[in-house]
Structure 1
Amino acid sequence: MTKHQQKPASFLERLIFNNRPAVILVCLLISVFLFYQAAQVRPSTSFEKMIPLGHPYIQNMLQHRDDLANLGNTVRISVAAKDGDIFAKDYMETLRQIHDEVFYIQGVDRSNMKSLWSPSVRWTEVTEQGFAGGEVIPQTYDGSPESLDDLRSNILKSGQVGRLVANDFKSSIIDVPLMESYSDPEDRGKQIKLDYQQFSHELEEKIRDKYEAQNPNVEIHIIGFAKKVGDLIDGLVGVALFFFVAIGITLALLLWFTRCVKSTIAVVVTTLIAVAWQLGLLHTLGFGLDPYSMLVPFLVFAIGISHGVQKINGIAMASGETDDPLAAARMAFRQLFIPGMVALASDAVGFVTLLLIDIGVIRELAIGASLGVAVIILTNLILLPVAISYMGISQRAVKQAREEAARNHPFWRLLSNFANPIVAPISIVIALLAVGGGLWYGQNLKIGDLDQGAPELHPDSRYNLDNDFVISNYSTSSDVLVVMVKTAPEGCAHYDTLAAMDELMWKMENTEGVQSAVSMVTVARQSIKGMNEGSLKWETLSRNQFVLNSSIARAEGMYNSDCSLAPVLVFLNDHKAETLEHVVSAAREFAEENNREGLEFVLAAGNAGIEAATNEVIAASETTMLIAVYAAVSFMCLLTFRSVAATLCIVLPLVLTSILGNALMAFMGIGVKVATLPVIALGVGIGVDYGIYIYSRLESYLRQGMTLQDAYYETLKSTGKAVIFTGICLAIGVFTWVFSAIKFQADMGLMLTFMFLWNMVGAIWLLPALARFLIKPEKLRQKV
């Protein structure tokens, strides 16, 4: 045995192994409770969890939520005619039925719902007697050719072409604003949170499936935040399937690695117990699973397998020196518990740094991952060796361990050359070149979305095809930035206010990336023109307050009840990061120049405003989070090994992985956003395990007086195999995500595959090269 193994048993070791039945009983009782809790976990998300609530834009939007009808969480349903246009009796009847069906779906803000059948959608025209107007679909409508002709005329006069009605008159839209919570129909005092998955399913079953089957000439397209999230939650079923595939792959690889059925089952079962405990704790604390936290069970499984493999490998090696399973388990526990604790503590502290990001789903992911790491300490560092102390491992595995320890390994001897004084400098130079190349290409990495539609889903997904249809057939984009104009009560109708709003609209319409801008000024100018015989010369703002008051009376819905807030709607070409940054910068610049007492231009609402706020939070948090996670990991390594050199040997390979990971994201066109930012921190947190296990074993051999290359050879013989196996096993497990129906999970799978493999490569290749220059073996020997 090594001197480390010959050390007297610690209090913790005696407490655990002298009370093995009690340890198993406690774990059993915990399992009964948490398994029941895990069975209650349900998919859960909300609009507010997906946005940075602390950002000024979001606070402004929430403060004025009641004044911004149809500009928040809204679903748009486009009902298209396959043949002909909307001016057909069958089409209009189907549209009416869909409108009524949607109206009664729970969670719909019925008072602000709009379609051609809504009484609030009206037309206006100028006649010889003055203004005339009415509902677009009047009470006299009966579906006759004459009433359809009247409908066509009313639509043309309503200004809804390109908004509620497609430019080619082949489809129309139902705008469906949603409430985050609503009263229980059976108990009005109780509030029910909107269930996005259920709402999405109702839209599919009650609207799309029902009416497309009922009227073959109708095609329905549905877009909006709630629909997108519903589709993402549905994709979780596929992710669960990938989890079982990962378990199967891991089981097969572990059996090949250990040559022992008992230990293989023990590792997988204890790791699955950790996953179940983590899910149970989530439910106990009041959390559910959303499309982003679905990543956590995979991470817990991956981390658990990583530490389980190290434990089994250590027990197998110890079994080569003793035939007593209990003694072998205690020897492995004594040698690996501290490195395992350090690695898991580093993981946990690294995950906790995600709490710095003010977005609910990321914070819940951080909490879930930290809980998972905590339970792995109990299941894989304590329960697993206790279970093996009873079960033992097969004689075949023991025999293999003894043979491995006794014979010379050409492959490990070859890899040990990474610590050779000639090879090590070459490795350092290659690493520096990789750092330089990664930093250079990583400059192309963007914050936010880089594609139209919902980048979380594949371009050929049903949702993105629906989104493409709406973008192609309507003048008003689905990407809307709202600038809120605040005044004193009754102040939004003053000439100075309207003139400033007109200037803002002109500036925004002449900003790259903007399609058009609409506000109460748009209606006022048209009304003033109408009051002057339709002359284009009069399509401007009058300085006469009575004229202005009359003109904005027709801008219903474009200002709040006391005329103290009026939104300016800016329709964008897309919500790509560059577009948002450019447009928001222009709006902010205008606000800074024109804000004054009694008139304030406030950013921002609309889905584009939310995206812009999210991008700003991520841009501000990315560097802070990376510094925090590296500081936390470095501190844990420094605290454990009491050596700056050892800390650098472990952390610098992780830095290289992060730099190359950013370059890979830039090459693949993946932006840094809510879905991908956690992967950067998680990759560092999990990757540190490899370095800690390798360095702790390397240090123990150096303390025995070995040269660096010989010590590294012995390290590879004992731990290197487990590290390489773990990296490959985990990479294969998460690579299955590449086939996910959810694009951001496919991207995460690819990124994690890269990070698992490259962190393993960095620990095997770069760590010994760094040790050649940073570690002084003679100083370690002096400390023995």
Structure 2
Amino acid sequence: MTSRNINSESPANRSLAEFDRKSGNRLERLLFNHRPAVLLLCLLATILLGVQATKVELKASFEKMIPTQHPYIFNYLEHQQELSGLGNALRIAVANRNGDIYDAHYLQMLQQLSDQIYLLPGIDRAYMKSLWTPATRWTAVTEDGLDGGPVIPDDYDGSERSLGELRRNVQLSNEIGQLVAFDQRSSIIYVPLLTRTIDGDAIDYNALSQELESLRARYAGDSIDIHITGFAKKVGDLIDGLQQILLFFALAIVITGGVLFAYTRCLRSTLLVVCCSLVAVVWQLGLLPLLGYHLDPYSVLVPFLVFAIGMSHGAQKMNGIMQDIGRGLHKLVAARHTFRRLFMAGVMALLSDAVGFAVLMFIEIPVIQDLAIAASVGVAVLIVTNLILLPVLLSYLGISATAAQRSLQDLREGQTPTDGMERHRVWRLLDGFTRQRWATACIAVAALLAVGGHLVGGNLKIGDLDPGAPELRSDSRYNLDDAFMNAHYGASSDVFAVMVTAPTGECARYDILRKVDALDWQLRTLPGVDSTNSLALLNRRMLVGLSEGSPKWYHLQPNQAMLNMVTAAAPRGLYNETCSLLTLYVYLADHKAETLTGLVEHVEAFAAANNTNDVQFMLAAGNAGIEAATNIVVDESNQKMLYWVYAVVILLCLITFRSWRATLCAVLPLMLTSILCEALMVALGIGVKVATLPVIALGVGIGVDYALYVMSMLLAFRRNGSSLSEAYYQALVSTGKVVMLTGVTLAIGVVTWLFSPIKFQADMGILLAFMFVWNMLGALILLPALAHFLLPEVRPLSSPKATGDAASTDDLSSGATQPG
């Protein structure tokens, strides 16, 4: 009810006149007795942090995507300078649409493109390779012994003679299937990347991707087609696609704001909730650059989660104030009563959200740890913007009289001698779960769902389940390029490298090469392995070449002089300059979890049986080796993360409710949702990986919000003398309606992500929508069913009061977190 429509004798004015400004706890008095100062401080913070928010950057780092503390990655980083290109590299296939690569125009375009790429920042030029680089050579056995030279003849002039010589050199180069396609209609430009540019700056993958797209647009045409794969291009495409996140963010604002307005029919209070949630996002984005952080393809979705959480808590505060105003309280008194009643539940709920993010710090992958920090910052500012700023603003602006009266309609309908027969049919349905028959059936169904979900969830896989880049759509340009590579070359872009250390200068020792040779042959027989390459294999091939091509010499000669001679002419990619490190390359058909797991287990077993003080077989380098290490970390962190998040959520619930029975009622629905979420991931073919692992923890932290609000009010009404049915009904009309509202609204908001060109965003949208809805249903259905069996009748602190008067609201505010 607005101030201009009331007189000095109105109930609202009387409630204000009778209200003791010194009542409430110290925090409440500090905030509401100094409201102008609170608003001024928040305005200054919004302006300052809004300026800082313009400086936040969207970028990615290869090093932050890998678990740098894992032993495999530690081994790789220790030898990174000697393994150039085995961690972060681009493969650019240049195809001739009108013929094969032995075409003067094609070769001219290839040379120009290779030269342009050579000049890009961040390129490891010493290890770049194409048909035009001097390191691409051919070898042959002649009457005079071994002969060889660069694949492109020194006197190449584009004539038929030069092209014929090039064709012969390619056949002798052992590059068919590697740099040259099997059909010889395309060739690869292999581009390893440095960790940093010459200036010492981190590589800007978005800028590099745009440069590559510019080159593709310049050179591709009627005669030339270009295909690009590699981490840098994948991240660039992700960033490009994620720039559409602003569209989905705007859509979420419209949807949530529209549904909230449809519920309240009060424009100003709806705008206040939306604005306070947006202020939280601005503060979060402003704090990130101040703390030295930026957004990346995985944390860019965090601002939406912060907005979603803010809308959920803001709607609860607005609903409480709206009902108190409808009971006749002045808007300031209503704001203070709601603050008392819901502040502790809100803080505990936000702490639970923060826990869901904070436990991600246990996962030793920097990109996930950065996500945890960014999200924790967002949740921290929500305590100010939505638990403090919003009630203070509503204490000035209030709620429209029509909306306030409508909010009490359901409450009044339930106050009949027929025990709710005139209640809305939805509330009658939900109230049925507080009674034994429905409660028993509900718990039985939940138990069956838990058992079925557990059986299905047991098939949950770790890592990528699809070829190419699962973060992108299967029909994306990147995945089409990756499919081209796999179809036209001897192996996919997935390379797994085993490092073999030896005493300095002794990498060609026969006993060492014999072990490498044995592992080489064993790995060739594993599922998913296309081919291998090693110094031992080179020795076999060279011995055949030196023996007039006779295949009977295709074995490793126990002749040290011969081994030394071959090693001296071998390419440096197979061993380092000090001859203390050998590299065994394993080219894979894909990077699926089963392929990597089988390979890792075999190499680990071989290393355990063959490692000595002098010779060590170490894992792992190559993009597939790095992904194998990432999968191991994700697998180890998955259960550990859930244990931690549930342990802290249970502790917070115990502090809030001071009742182990109430805590069980709140936590068991969350556990059911977690089980069913894993089953859903199996059904949808979604593996647990860097992109999806955070969702599981977030679902628990965010999902407990609903249970905290419902259970806090239920316990408060129970202590006020109500039966379980009456208390649950009162909890429904006071907070349960908003739980239902926000659960459905937020699910609709994230479901829109299904239309994103980024598949992992679509996957996150499905999982978050599922968890929003199921956590909401758990709080409204399973929680009262469990309460029927777990919460005993309690003796009221005082005689029951009519639930519609102002005094009862104040009583509830002081008892919302007392033991149940």
**What does 1:581-592 correspond to in 2, within 5 Å?**
581-592=597-608
Amino acid at match of 2:706: Y
Counterpart of 2:557, as a letter, is S
The 5-angstrom pairing of residues 160-309 of structure 1 reads 160-184=175-199, 191-205=200-214, 207-213=215-221, 216-309=222-315
5+ long unaligned stretches in structure 2:
1-10, 415-422, 799-817
SS in 2 for 1:201: helix
Deviation at 1:364, TM superposition (A): 0.8
- DSSP-derived class of the 1:553 partner: helix
Take 1:718 and 1:384, find their aligned partners in 2: how far apart are those partners? 18
Give the equivalent residue in structure 1 for 2:590: 574
Does residue 426 of structure 1 match 2:441?
yes
Match of 1:64 among 70, 79, 83: 79
For residues 564 and 541 of structure 1, what CA distance do their matches in structure 2 show?
20
Aligned residue number for residue 89 of structure 1 = 104
Q: Which residue of 1 aligns with 2:636?
A: 620
Work out which of the residue numbers 471, 474, 480 in structure 2 matches 1:465: 480
Partner of 1:728: 744
Contact 1:74 1:224 in 2 (8 A): yes
Q: Does 1:708 align with 2:724?
A: yes
Tell me the amino acid that sits aligned with residue 661 of structure 2: A
**1:13 aligned to 15, 20, 28, which one?**
28
Q: Matches of 2:305 and 2:99 in 1, distance apart?
A: 53
Deviates more, 1:378-387 or 1:707-716: 707-716
Number of the residue aligned with 2:658: 642
SS of aligned partner of 2:121: coil
* Backbone CA RMSD of aligned residues: 1.5
Kindly provide the amino acid, as one letter, of the partner of residue 709 in structure 2: Y
**CA contact under 8 A between 1:703 and 1:777: conserved in structure 2?**
no
Cα offset, 1:331, TM superposition: 1.2
3-state SS of 1:120 partner: coil
Report the AA paired with residue 733 of structure 1: G
* Distance apart, 1:780 and its partner CA: 6.8
Separation in structure 2 between the aligned mates of residue 582 and residue 423 of structure 1, nearest angstrom: 49
**Structure 2 CA distance, aligned partners of 1:307 and 1:391?**
18
| Contact 1:633-1:685 at 8 Å conserved across structures | yes
> How far has the Cα of 1:587 moved from its partner?
1.1
* Partner SS, residue 661 of structure 1: helix
Alpha-carbon distance between aligned partners in 1 of 2:796 and 2:334, rounded to the nearest angstrom: 27
CA distance in 2, matches of 1:299, 1:145: 63
Structure 2 residue identity aligned to 1:707 = S
CA deviation map 1:392-435 (0-9, x unaligned):
11111122124343223222122111101221111111110110
State the partner residue of 1:187.
none
Structure 1 CA distance, aligned partners of 2:334 and 2:670?
A: 33
Return the match for 2:549 from 529, 534, 554. 534
Partner of 1:506: 521
Q: Structure 1, unaligned stretches of length 5 or more?
A: 185-190
TM-score by length of 2: 0.93
Distance 1:525 1:159 in 2: 14
Q: Deviations over 1:644-688 (max 9, x none)?
A: 111111111000000000000001100000000100000111100
8 A Cα contact 1:320 1:398, kept in partner: yes
CA distance in 2, matches of 1:505, 1:544: 20
Is 1:43 aligned to 2:52, yes or no? no
Q: Is the 8 A contact 2:23 2:29 kept in 1?
A: no
TM-superposed CA distance for 1:284, in Å, is 1.0
Alignment check: 8 A CA contact 2:673 2:775 kept: yes
- 1:573, CA displacement in angstroms? 1.3
Contact 1:727 1:756 in 2 (8 A): yes
The AA in structure 2 aligned to 1:697 is M
Instruction: Output aligned runs, 1:600-679, within 5 Å.
Output: 600-679=616-695
Which letter maps to 1:691?
A
Inter-partner Cα distance in structure 1 for 2:87 and 2:171? 27
Q: Distance in 2 between matches of 1:779 and 1:363?
A: 47
Separation in 1, partners of 2:569, 2:483: 32
Task: Please tell me whether residue 349 in structure 1 is matched to residue 358 in structure 2.
Answer: no
Query: Do the aligned residues in 1 keep the contact of 2:284 with 2:381 (CA within 8 Å)?
Result: yes
Deviation at 1:765, TM superposition (A): 0.2
C-alpha separation in 2, matches of 1:607 and 1:660: 32
Separation in 1, partners of 2:429, 2:462: 42
Q: Distance in 1 between matches of 2:256 and 2:385?
A: 18
Alignment partner for residue 138 of structure 2, among 98, 115, 123?
123
Alignment partners' CA distance in 1, 2:429 and 2:111: 75
Aligned residue identity for 1:516:
S
Return the offset for 1:110. Answer: 0.7
The correspondence of residues 95-134 of structure 1 with structure 2, limited to 5 A, is: 95-134=110-149
The one-letter code sitting in structure 1 at the alignment partner of 2:485 is V
Kindly indicate whether residue 349 of structure 2 is the aligned counterpart of residue 326 of structure 1: no
Pairing 1:462-501 to 2, within 5 Å after superposition: 462-501=477-516
Contact between 1:196 and 1:226, CA under 8 Å: does it hold in 2?
Answer: yes
Return the letter of the residue paired with 1:676: T
Q: CA deviation at 1:17?
A: 0.3
Q: Write the distance in 2 (CA, Å) between the matches of 1:556 and 1:463.
A: 31
Amino acid of the residue matched to residue 304 of structure 2? F
Measured in 2, the distance between the counterparts of 1:405 and 1:507 equals: 74
Contact 1:523-1:554 within 8 A present in 2 as well: no
Find the residue that maps to 1:482 and give its secondary structure: strand
Q: Percent identity?
A: 54
| Paired residues of 1:99 and 1:174 also in contact (CA < 8 A) | yes
Q: Which amino acid aligns with 1:382?
A: I
Which residue of the other structure, out of 690, 701, 724, is the alignment partner of 2:706?
A: 690
Q: Distance in 2 between matches of 1:433 and 1:541?
A: 61
Q: Equivalent residue for 1:147?
A: 162
Q: Assess if the C-alpha contact under 8 Å between 2:530 and 2:587 holds in 1.
A: yes
CA shift, 1:540, in A, is 2.0
3-state DSSP of counterpart to 1:697: helix
Contact kept, 8 Å, 2:368 with 2:694, in 1: the verdict is: yes
What amino acid maps onto 2:80 in structure 1?
R
Q: Does structure 2 retain, via aligned residues, the 8 Å contact 1:525–1:551? A: no
Q: Pick from 359, 368, 372: which aligns with 2:365?
A: 359
> 1-side partners of 2:597 and 2:774: how far apart?
33
What residue identity is the alignment partner of 1:272?
Answer: L
Q: Aligned match of 1:311 in 310, 317, 321?
A: 317
Letter in 2 for 1:360: P
For residues 563 and 764 of structure 1, what CA distance do their matches in structure 2 show? 68
Q: How many residues align?
A: 773
The one-letter code sitting in structure 2 at the alignment partner of 1:209 is A
The amino acid across from 1:236 in the alignment is L
Per the alignment, residue 137 of structure 1 pairs with 152
Shift of 1:779: 5.7
User: 2:454 matched to 1:439?
Assistant: yes
SS at structure 1 position matched to 2:585? strand
Alpha-carbon distance between aligned partners in 1 of 2:674 and 2:797, rounded to the nearest angstrom: 34
Flag the 1:781–1:555 CA change in 2: closer, same or farther, 3 A. Answer: farther
AA aligned opposite 1:447: I
1:157 equivalent among 172, 177, 184: 172
For residues 436 and 114 of structure 2, what CA distance do their matches in structure 1 show?
A: 76
